[in-house]
């Protein structure tokens, strides 16, 4: 199954020439472009308490994209459930499901930055327990029945049309995350392809009686640009890409394992590592044929949006016709 992703996290290097307002409008225009072309998913991320403008309101952004598109799926990964009121999350997700005609989904995550928990007044030490408690309320609310939240009985109305297991999945890279997904009757989307994690998830599915457990491993994720001259493109955007890699790496947590995490310290190491790629149209086409996947991130690290658009137009004109 093919999986071509257009991904936005809105992080910006200090030298980015475009204003935040311009970049958000550009991301919406690029999402409309994705809807007209052979992109399967527009992917959004969530982080808070940052200095570089990382996307902090992914559900609102998802709603804007849903209103401007009619075909492409919209995904938030990861949605940091412990930082939100679960009833309000359920209301927002229900609306997204209705407006998008079932095109929205989210991978629920625990998160790994203590500062985010502190700024929202959420207990970092109890984060696993809080995640389970809030996820349980969120799931019951999305099923449309009555729930008790903060001691009061209520239910969301209107409820979503889509089944809960198509709306939500559980992410993570630990055995606890695998068991959490099975316990709540949800698909598991680990951040890394680890056979032991998949085995732990399937064992937990048997323990909890979830007959339909399914693991969705990552497909060689990397940040990809398309250029007729990759060497020249690296000269133009390398500083933005290494900024993106170093900023993400600065959040490194001892329990975090993710394919997307780079360990490069400079542009040459970043090129060699392969997690950030600039491919010719032919190479991009070959990558899709071999892996079924391509992750386009045209605004990564604050890349000027005219260069991002060049990458997308090359996909449209020189890759897409051959798919």
Q: What is the pLDDT of residue 252?
A: 76
d(CA 303, CA 306): 8
* pLDDT, average across residues 119-123: 97
Task: Give the 3-state secondary structure of residue 119.
Answer: helix
pLDDT of residue 97: 98
Could you read off the pLDDT of 14-44 as tens digits, one per residue? Answer: 999 999 999 999 999 999 999 999 999 999 9
Give CA–CA dist 205/178, Å, rounded.
9
pLDDT digits (tens, 9 = 90+) for 250-279: 887 766 666 678 889 999 999 999 999 999
What does DSSP say about strands 73-80 and 104-109: parallel, antiparallel, or unpaired? parallel
Mean pLDDT of the region 60-86? 97
165-211: pLDDT as tens digits: 999 999 998 999 999 999 999 999 998 888 999 999 999 999 999 99
> What angle is formed at CA 13 by the lines to CA 58 and CA 242, rounded to 5 degrees?
105
Three-class secondary structure of residue 215 per DSSP? strand
Report yes or no: 74 and 103 within 8 Å, Cβ to Cβ.
yes
For residue 259, the model assigns a pLDDT of 64
Burial of 209 (0-12, 13-18, 19+ CB in 10 A): exposed
- Specify the pLDDT at position 255: 64
Q: Which two tokens stand for residue 177?
A: 């995350």
Percent of the chain with pLDDT over 90: 87
Identify the pLDDT of residue 218. Answer: 74
Record the pTM: 0.96
């Amino acid at each position: 199954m093919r999986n071509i992703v257009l991904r936005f996290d809105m992080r910006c290097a200090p030298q980015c020439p475009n204003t935040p307002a311009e970049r958000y409008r550009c991301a919406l225009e690029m999402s409309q472009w994705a809807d007209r072309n052979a992109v399967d998913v527009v992917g959004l991320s969530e982080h808070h308490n940052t200095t570089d403008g990382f996307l902090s309101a992914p559900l609102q952004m998802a709603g804007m994209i849903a209103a401007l598109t009619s075909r492409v799926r919209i995904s938030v990964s990861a949605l940091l459930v412990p930082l939100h009121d679960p009833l309000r999350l359920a209301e927002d997700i229900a609306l997204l499901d209705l407006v998008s005609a079932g095109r929205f989904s989210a991978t629920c995550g625990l998160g790994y930055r203590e500062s985010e928990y502190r700024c929202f007044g959420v207990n970092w030490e109890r984060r696993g327990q809080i995640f389970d408690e809030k996820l349980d309320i969120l799931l019951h609310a999305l099923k449309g029945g009555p729930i008790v939240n903060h001691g009061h009985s209520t239910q969301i109305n209107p409820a979503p049309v889509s089944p809960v297991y198509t709306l939500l999945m559980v992410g993570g890279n630990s055995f606890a995350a695998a068991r959490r997904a099975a316990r709540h009757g949800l698909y598991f989307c680990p951040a890394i392809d680890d056979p032991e994690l998949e085995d732990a998830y399937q064992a937990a599915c048997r323990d909890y009686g979830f007959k339909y457990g399914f693991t969705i491993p990552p497909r060689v994720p990397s940040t990809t640009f398309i250029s007729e001259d990759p060497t020249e493109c690296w000269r133009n955007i390398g500083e933005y890409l290494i900024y993106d890699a170093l900023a993400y790496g600065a959040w490194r947590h001892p329990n975090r394992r993710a394919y997307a995490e780079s360990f490069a310290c400079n542009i040459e190491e970043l090129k060699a590592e392969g997690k950030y790629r600039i491919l010719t149209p032919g190479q991009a086409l070959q990558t899709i044929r071999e892996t079924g996947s391509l992750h386009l991130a045209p605004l990564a690290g604050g890349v000027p949006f005219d260069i991002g658009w060049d990458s997308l137009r090359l996909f449209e004109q020189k890759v897409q016709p051959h798919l």
